[in-house]
């Protein structure tokens, strides 16, 4: 296979919500799971994908919801109305950056203290973390191998970056992967 | 061409590739694989630098990391990189290196006069001589600075690119000697992710030239093969030129990696790795020590093991006529290697009166061995010409017999070996004193940190291999990986292993000349004795008083000898004296690499609001607010800064203006207990707020001082939206989370920062309602009854779903309009378009600041300065009386009610055209130079275009009682003094008719 370059996308809009629930509030969790059509992941850093939405456990009482196409906010809010819960629109708060290719994981290691080994951060992992000076949500979309080979060409990551930082954060990543100097203010 | 002292057929240099380089203005050639030190030695270069304090001539002493003296500056096309060890600097074509610490030049150094003044420059000299009389240091310093300092300050970007990165491993192996390789092999076989840090480019360099076998192969070949096998394993990362500089809690290690290997993009010259390892094997080996005899620092006096190293690794003879002196058996191996290379030692002085079998074997081989002898004099200032050897009394160190002179061009010394226990100590693992070798060895407890090889006292090859194997498996097990059955350690043949056990006297007292313990910092045995005489006993105090071991080499070759001297001086055991605390970094790390490759722009990442591009394109002059950039004002052609601000303020007061306040912090609080939580957080009542209404609120710190202010809006029974100052939102969020998690048990509320989700524009001025009405969707009633002051409405603005809060920070009728951030620029441009017929102008933070001073609105950080209480700020009527909240009890502190407290007032010059001095203090005496108490100070001031005069807010002792009186605002530094009137802290529309209309 030809060696592909590491690719960094431009900041792109994203649909996203935060779901806050007390994890041992059984009726509230059941109502949310019924509305979403999936079981909420309980282990921090793990993502579950349903038909309409991907769900990443960010904290014991906090989930990131990534809807695909249709609105999940309103039905979820309605289902949770009687419960102690919060559904917060955050799609405008973030822009998404995609980073893929053989140098992607190494580039992220320049700024993230997470263990990004292929077995430690496989596809379907995600975390709120720091990348350099930036607070990001980092998610692994695809992984080329399981740690037994050195093949990294198929690695793909998505970063949710606070909107105000998106230009600066993309510049930082571009510098790390050698794409060019970052924009000066 | 590569030097007259280069021998054919030896070493690992690539003789097919000649490398041209320049040192101290002269051109030389070496081979690929040479270090600067080996290439210079091949040319017989002795003098490579001057010492720090006495400017004594210095040469190459060591082979690698331990080098104390041969520090050079490398000149890059765009800068100078100082203090590089010549022994660690690979030569490359075009390399330009220069000697350090000499002016005007290496051979004629002005500072060498310091050497002649040496008797007057004892330890602690600077403290004693120049600090008194008080103030004189500033005079002396000008002369001392010129002659002092280690190397030049780096110029430009230092010619070097730096990077830093994070990494994770199951097992870190520090050191690529036999023990380290063996540990890496066994840990990798157990399935561990291994990082192997080699100090140099080659593994197990000390195996070179050793006629030993491992697993049936020549030892050096086995090492190369082992390294190749490790490099081929995808779970193993081999880092050449990597020095583990620090060991910290929870398995964090910092590694300074020079060259391309450290940086995946292969663009950095030095990279700092922050490695998190579940377990570690420390195989950092041992470093040879110097011996204490007169003039033991002369160029040509080298470590014996370094002489052997240059021979085996580089095929370079350090000298054709060597003499060796030592206190252990290892010098005989060096002697035999030299003899084999055609340069048998002229003499071997063994400080031990009865050295034993190794000495006898060397003598029988025809070498001149002088038992019980030491060096009493070294001839030659810039290069060793001869040494004088004499029998030394092992108890007194004095000569006790005839002196023999031996002409020589290099003197190899071996004072024994010091295990490199720095990382073990940094990791808070124990070390133990081993009297046989006269040094401390690593004795880790065996949890996550293991030690193997010479650092743990296992100097014999077979023992190092076996211990390394065991340590690698133990480290893998500590990382949760079980070893497969049937794994055996690599075995070495039963060859000779010279013992590192030492004997004989510590210090040769006979002869004249300085006996250096630390060559880099010019610390002598006499300095240590002086420190003890002056009452410094703890090794920590002796170290700091004399600067022993405080150089970039961290005293690797001398510290142990220094500790032994202190122990002898105190009449105690060395183990009782101990070592100074080992702190990171164990070896130098460039500041640039610690910072990494962050371009300056990214070091302080810039936050932009959704309307940033519009601001930039429309004349905004930006200012920084935290990490945000915000328009300070918008300058039109021909306007001065003040013109622009005055125009913006007048426009808002007369028509309307709009400001981007997207940076305002926003926090949503939801839950059945949200009202109770907010009542606990704010000093005023907010739980009683009706749905659809907002209220100005102040949070106090537990000590009763305002933490932040903002507006609380109630969106529904259980749903609140809080605003916080741009720069304080993180602090406020932490404060809220602390209250939720630890303040009140069982508080059911979720807090979420939503600053980035919303764009907010504040529309202010008498025409604001008309502008907003032009944009409002159907059903959005903006009438004074439907949307009163501090009212909240949701609806469409410019076709965008929006939330409107009627709140004013300017004193005018004003609305804060929030929309999802992605629509922010749409909203901003729609407001400007709709406002154009009304004469709207965008305004910036400066104009906002002028209007809030005109209104006397406080800012946390200015008027609320971390000392003033709500009462001092005139906000006592806001403080709720019938609820408990954070800070409530502190407000009852007696000190908060004492007379003389500074209170918020307004200030304006008596003369209409006068301006308040920047940072002025309020005083009674108009003389700015007079010594007098400050009654208070200006917290904010500006030119008010509304009043056409200078106005300010101030914190003034008993300020409210002084309203109506006159004082002086003085700036002693600027020599300014202005007569001022104290007024109430509100200059414009004190009744609030404009905002509430």
Q: Is the pLDDT of residue B135 over 80?
A: no
pLDDT of residue B137 exceeding 80: no
Shortest Cα–Cα distance, B263 to chain A (Å): 9
Q: How far away is chain B from the Cα of A119, in angstroms, using its nearest Cα?
A: 11
Q: CA of A23 to nearest chain B CA: how many angstroms apart?
A: 13
Cβ neighbours of A172 in B, within 8 Å: 598, 602, 605
What value does the mean pLDDT take over residues B373-382?
96
For A84, the closest of B274, B603, B672 (CB atoms) is B672
Q: Give B162-287+419-478's CATH code, choosing from 3.50.50.60, 3.40.50.2300, 3.40.50.300, 3.30.429.10.
A: 3.50.50.60
Minimal Cβ distance to A117: which of B193, B596, B748: B193
Q: What pLDDT score does B148 carry?
A: 55
Q: How far apart are CA B466 and CA B491, in angstroms?
A: 7
- Report pLDDT for B208: 81
Q: Give CA–CA dist B434/B450, Å, rounded.
A: 18
Q: How much is the pLDDT for A1? A: 36
Of A147, A163, A183, nearest to B235 by CB-CB distance is A147
Q: What percent of chain B has pLDDT over 70?
A: 92
Which of B27-44 are b and which e, b meaning 16 or more Cβ less than 10 Å from the residue's Cβ?
ebbbbebbbbbbbbbbbb
When pLDDT is averaged across residues B764-793 and rounded to a whole number, the result is 94
Q: Which of A113, A147, A175 sits opposite B599 (nearest CB)?
A: A175
Q: How many residue pairs from chains A and B have C-beta atoms closer than 8 A?
A: 129
Note whether A185 contacts B: Cβ–Cβ < 8 A: yes
Mutate to test the interface with A, among B161, B163, B166, B603 (most CBs of A within 10 A): B166
Residue A70's pLDDT is 82
Cβ within 8 Å, pair A168-B820 = no
User: Given the DSSP bridges, would you call strands B792-797 and B213-214 parallel, antiparallel or unpaired?
Assistant: unpaired
Is pLDDT of B806 > 70? yes
Q: Which pLDDT does position B487 carry in this prediction?
A: 83
pLDDT for residue B27 is more than 80: yes
Q: How many CA atoms lie within 13 Å of B391's alpha carbon, on the beta-carbon side?
A: 7
| More confident of the two residues A179 and B488 | B488
**How sure is the predictor about B395, in pLDDT bands with cuts at 50, 70 and 90?**
very high
Per-residue pLDDT of chain A (185 residues; tens, 9 = 90+): 334 689 999 999 999 999 999 999 999 999 999 999 999 999 999 999 988 899 999 999 999 999 998 889 999 999 999 999 999 999 999 999 999 999 899 999 999 999 999 999 999 999 999 998 899 999 999 998 765 666 778 899 999 999 999 999 998 898 888 775 444 43
Query: For residue B915, with 0-12 CB atoms within 10 Å meaning exposed, 13-18 middle and 19 or more buried, which class applies?
Result: middle
Q: What are the counts of helices (DSSP H) followed by strands (DSSP E) for chain A?
A: 4, 10
Residues 6+ positions from B531 with CB-CB distance below 8 Å: B123, B124, B541, B542, B545, B546
pLDDT band at B104 (very low <50, low <70, confident <90, very high): low
User: Does residue B429 carry a pLDDT above 90?
Assistant: yes
Give the position of tokens 């190749």: B228
CA B50/CA B291 separation, integer angstroms: 20
Contact (CB, 8 A) for B545 and B539: no
**Which part of chain B is CATH 3.50.50.60?**
162-287+419-478, 288-415+499-577
B758 neighbourhood in chain A, CB within 8 Å: 92
Q: Does A182 touch chain B (CB under 8 A)?
A: yes
**B601 pLDDT above the threshold of 70:** no
Of residues B88, B95, B89, the one with CA closest to residue B23: B95
**Of B370, B379, B378, B373, which Cα lies nearest the Cα of B399?**
B373
**Average pLDDT rounded to a whole number, residues B856-885:** 94
In this structure, how many other beta carbons lie within 10 angstroms of the beta carbon of residue B75? 16
Is B276's CB within 8 Å of A178's CB?
no
Contact B750 A184 (CB under 8 A): no
Q: How far is A58 from chain B (nearest CA, A)?
A: 13
Assess if CATH 3.90.740.10 describes domain B288-415+499-577: no
At B105, is the pLDDT very low, low, confident or very high (cuts 50, 70, 90)? low
Measured CA to CA, the distance from residue B300 to residue B407 in angstroms comes to: 12
- pLDDT tens for B492-532 read 998 888 999 999 999 999 999 999 999 999 999 999 999 99
Test B756 with A133 for CB contact under 8 angstroms: no
List the single residue in B with minimal CA-CA distance to A93.
B757
Interface residue A132 vs chain B (CB under 8 A): yes
What is the full DSSP assignment across B623-675?
EEETTEEEEEEEPPTT--HHHHHHHHHHHHHHS-EEEE-TTSEEEEEESTTHH
Pick from B827, B561, B861: which is nearest to B706 by CA?
A: B861
> Is residue B200 very low, low, confident or very high in pLDDT (cuts 50, 70, 90)?
confident
**List of domains in chain A:** 7-12+93-177 (3.30.1360.120), 17-89 (3.30.70.1520)
CB contact under 8 A, A168 and B668: no
Cβ-defined contact of B752 to A18 (cutoff 8 Å): yes
Beta pairing partners, A21: A85
Please judge whether A184 and B672 are an interchain contact, meaning their C-beta atoms are less than 8 angstroms apart: no
Judge whether B752 and A18 are in contact, CB under 8 Å.
yes
Cβ separation A20–B670 shorter than 8 A: yes
Q: Are B625 and B726 in contact (CB under 8 A)?
A: yes
Q: What is the pLDDT of residue A175?
A: 84
Indicate which of A65, A73, A86 best probes the interface with B, i.e. most B CBs within 10 Å of its own CB: A86
Determine contact: A164 vs chain B, CB below 8 A.
yes
Q: Is A24 on the interface with B (CB under 8 A)?
A: no
- Which tokens sit at A174? 């571009």
Q: What is the pLDDT of residue B1?
A: 67
Residues 6+ apart with CB under 8 A from B120: none
Which residues in chain A have their CB less than 8 angstroms from residue B800's CB?
Answer: none
Distance from CA of B759 to the nearest CA of A (A): 9
Cβ of B750 within 8 Å of Cβ of A86? The answer is: yes
Q: Which two tokens stand for residue B70?
A: 């041969």
Q: Does A148 touch chain B (CB under 8 A)?
A: yes
pLDDT at res. A3:
47
pLDDT for B300 beyond 90: yes
Distance CA B571, CA B552 (A): 30
Cβ pair A106:B820 closer than 8 A:
no
**How confident is residue B177, by pLDDT bands cut at 50, 70 and 90?**
very high
* pLDDT above 90: residue B387: yes
| Among candidates A94, A178, A182 on the partner chain, residue whose Cβ is nearest the Cβ of B599 | A182
Q: Residue B226 is inside which H or E element, if any? A: helix B219-232
B276:A113 CB<8 A: yes
| Residue ranges, CATH 3.10.20.440, chain B | 14-120
Q: What percent of chain B has pLDDT over 90?
A: 81
Q: How does DSSP classify residue A123?
A: T
pLDDT exceeds 70 at position B808: yes
Average pLDDT of the residues in B759-773: 97
Q: What is the mean pLDDT of chain B?
A: 92
Nearest to B969 by CA among B925, B929, B922: B922
- Which range of B43-57, B76-90, B424-438 scores highest in mean pLDDT? It is B424-438
The CA distance from A148 to the nearest CA of chain B, in Å, is 6
What CATH class has B14-120?
Answer: alpha beta
């Amino acid at each position: 296979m030809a060696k592909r370059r590491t690719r960094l996308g431009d900041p792109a809009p994203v649909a996203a919500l935060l779901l806050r629930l007390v994890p041992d509030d059984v009726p509230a969790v059941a109502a949310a799971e019924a509305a979403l059509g999936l079981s909420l992941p309980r282990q921090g850093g793990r993502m579950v994908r349903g038909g309409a939405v991907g769900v990443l456990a960010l904290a014991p009482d906090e989930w990131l919801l990534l809807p695909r196409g249709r609105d999940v906010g309103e039905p979820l809010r309605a289902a949770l109305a009687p419960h102690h819960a919060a559904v917060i629109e955050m799609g405008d708060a973030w822009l998404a950056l995609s980073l893929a290719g053989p140098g992607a994981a190494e580039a992220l290691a320049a700024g993230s203290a997470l263990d990004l080994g292929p077995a430690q951060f496989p596809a379907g992992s995600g975390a709120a973390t720091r990348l350099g000076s930036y607070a990001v949500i980092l998610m692994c979309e695809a992984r080329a191998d399981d740690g037994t080979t050195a093949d990294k060409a198929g690695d793909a990551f998505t970063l949710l970056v606070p909107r105000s930082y998106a230009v600066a954060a993309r510049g930082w990543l571009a510098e790390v992967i050698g794409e060019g100097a970052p924009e000066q203010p | 061409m590569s030097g007259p002292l280069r021998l054919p057929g030896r070493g690992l240099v690539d003789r097919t590739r000649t490398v041209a380089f320049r040192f101290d203005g002269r051109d030389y050639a070496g081979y690929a694989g040479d270090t600067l030190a080996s290439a210079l030695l091949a040319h017989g270069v002795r003098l490579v630098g001057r010492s720090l304090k006495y400017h004594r001539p210095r040469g190459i002493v060591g082979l690698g990391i331990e080098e104390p003296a041969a520090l050079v500056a490398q000149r890059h096309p765009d800068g100078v990189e100082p203090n590089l060890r010549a022994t660690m600097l690979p030569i490359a074509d075009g390399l330009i290196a220069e000697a350090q610490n000499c002016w005007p030049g290496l051979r004629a150094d002005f500072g060498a006069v310091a050497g002649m003044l040496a008797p007057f420059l004892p330890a602690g000299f600077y403290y004693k001589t120049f600090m008194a009389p008080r103030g004189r240091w500033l005079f002396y310093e000008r002369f001392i600075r010129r002659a002092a300092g280690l190397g030049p300050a780096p110029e430009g970007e230092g010619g070097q690119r730096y990077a830093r990165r994070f990494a994770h491993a199951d097992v870190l192996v520090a050191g690529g000697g036999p023990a380290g390789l063996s540990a890496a092999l066994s840990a990798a076989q157990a399935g561990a992710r291994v990082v192997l840090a080699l100090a140099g480019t080659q593994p197990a360099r000390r195996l070179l030239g050793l006629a030993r076998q491992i697993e049936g192969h020549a030892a050096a070949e086995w090492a190369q093969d082992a390294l190749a096998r490790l490099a081929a394993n995808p779970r193993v990362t081999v880092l050449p030129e990597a020095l583990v500089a620090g060991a910290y809690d929870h398995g964090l290690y910092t590694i300074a990696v020079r060259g391309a290997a450290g940086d995946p993009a292969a663009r950095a010259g030095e990279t700092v790795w922050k490695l998190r390892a579940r377990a570690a094997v420390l195989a950092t080996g041992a470093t040879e020590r110097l011996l204490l005899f007169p003039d033991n620092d002369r160029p040509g006096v080298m470590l014996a093991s370094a002489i052997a190293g240059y021979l085996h690794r580089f095929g370079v003879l350090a000298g054709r006529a060597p003499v060796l002196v030592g206190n252990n058996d290892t010098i005989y191996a060096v002697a035999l290697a030299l003899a084999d290379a055609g340069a048998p030692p002229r003499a071997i002085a063994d400080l031990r009166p009865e050295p034993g079998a190794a000495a006898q074997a060397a003598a029988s081989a025809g070498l001149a061995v002088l038992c019980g002898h030491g060096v009493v004099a070294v001839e030659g200032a810039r290069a060793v010409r001869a040494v004088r050897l004499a029998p030394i009394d092992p108890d007194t160190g004095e000569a006790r017999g005839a002196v023999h002179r031996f002409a020589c061009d290099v003197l190899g010394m071996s004072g024994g070996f010091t295990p490199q226990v720095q990382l073990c100590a940094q990791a808070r693992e124990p070390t133990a004193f081993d009297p046989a070798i006269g040094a401390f060895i690593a004795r880790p407890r065996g949890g996550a940190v293991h030690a193997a090889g010479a650092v743990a006292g296992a100097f014999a090859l077979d023992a190092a291999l076996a211990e390394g194997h065991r340590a690698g498996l133990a480290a893998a097990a500590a990382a949760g990986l079980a070893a497969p059955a049937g794994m055996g350690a690599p075995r070495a043949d039963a060859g000779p292993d010279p013992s590192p056990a030492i004997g004989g006297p510590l210090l040769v007292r006979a002869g004249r000349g300085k006996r250096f313990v630390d060559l880099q910092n010019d610390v002598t045995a006499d300095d240590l004795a002086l420190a003890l005489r002056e009452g410094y006993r703890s090794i920590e105090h002796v170290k700091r008083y004399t600067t022993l071991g405080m150089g970039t080499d961290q005293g690797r070759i001398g510290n142990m000898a220094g500790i032994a001297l202190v122990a002898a001086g105190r009449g105690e055991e060395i183990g009782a004296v101990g070592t100074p605390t080992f702190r990171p970094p164990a070896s130098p790390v460039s500041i640039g690499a610690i910072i990494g490759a962050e371009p300056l722009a990214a070091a302080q990442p810039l936050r932009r609001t959704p309307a940033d591009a519009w601001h930039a394109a429309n004349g905004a002059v930006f200012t920084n607010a935290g990490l945000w950039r915000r328009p300070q004002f918008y300058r039109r052609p021909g306007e001065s800064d003040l013109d622009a601000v005055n125009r913006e303020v007048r426009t808002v007061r007369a028509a309307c203006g709009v400001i981007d306040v997207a940076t305002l912090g926003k926090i949503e609080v939801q839950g059945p207990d949200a009202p109770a939580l907010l009542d606990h957080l704010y000093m005023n009542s907010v739980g009683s707020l009706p749905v659809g209404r907002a209220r100005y609120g102040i949070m106090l710190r537990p000590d009763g001082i305002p933490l932040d202010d903002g507006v609380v809006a109630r969106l529904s029974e259980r749903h609140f939206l809080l605003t916080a100052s741009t720069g304080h939102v993180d602090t406020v969020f932490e404060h809220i989370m602390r209250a939720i998690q630890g303040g009140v048990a069982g508080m059911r509320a979720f807090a979420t920062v939503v600053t980035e989700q919303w764009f907010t524009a504040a529309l202010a001025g008498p025409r604001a309602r008309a502008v907003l009405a032009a944009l409002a969707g159907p059903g959005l009633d903006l009438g004074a009854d439907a949307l009163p002051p501090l009212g909240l409405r949701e609806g469409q603005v410019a076709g965008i779903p929006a939330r409107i809060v009627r709140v004013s920070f300017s004193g005018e009728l004003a609305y804060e309009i929030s929309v999802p951030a992605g629509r922010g620029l749409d909203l901003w441009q729609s407001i400007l378009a709709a406002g154009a017929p009304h004469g709207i102008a965008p305004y910036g933070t400066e104009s906002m600041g002028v209007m809030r001073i005109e209104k006397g609105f406080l800012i946390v950080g200015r008027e609320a300065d971390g000392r003033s209480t709500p009462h001092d700020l005139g906000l006592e009527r806001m403080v709720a009386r019938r609820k408990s909240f954070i800070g409530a009890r502190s407000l009852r502190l007696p000190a908060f009610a004492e007379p003389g407290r500074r209170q918020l007032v307004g200030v304006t010059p008596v003369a209409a055209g006068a301006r308040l001095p920047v940072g002025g203090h309020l005083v009674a005496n108009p003389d700015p130079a007079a010594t007098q108490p400050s009654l208070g100070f200006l917290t904010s001031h500006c030119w008010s275009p509304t009043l056409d005069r200078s106005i300010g807010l101030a914190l003034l002792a008993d300020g409210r009682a002084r309203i109506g009186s006159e004082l002086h605002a003085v700036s002693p530094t600027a020599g300014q003094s202005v007569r001022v009137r104290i007024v109430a802290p509100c200059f414009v529309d004190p009744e609030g008719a404009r905002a509430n209309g």
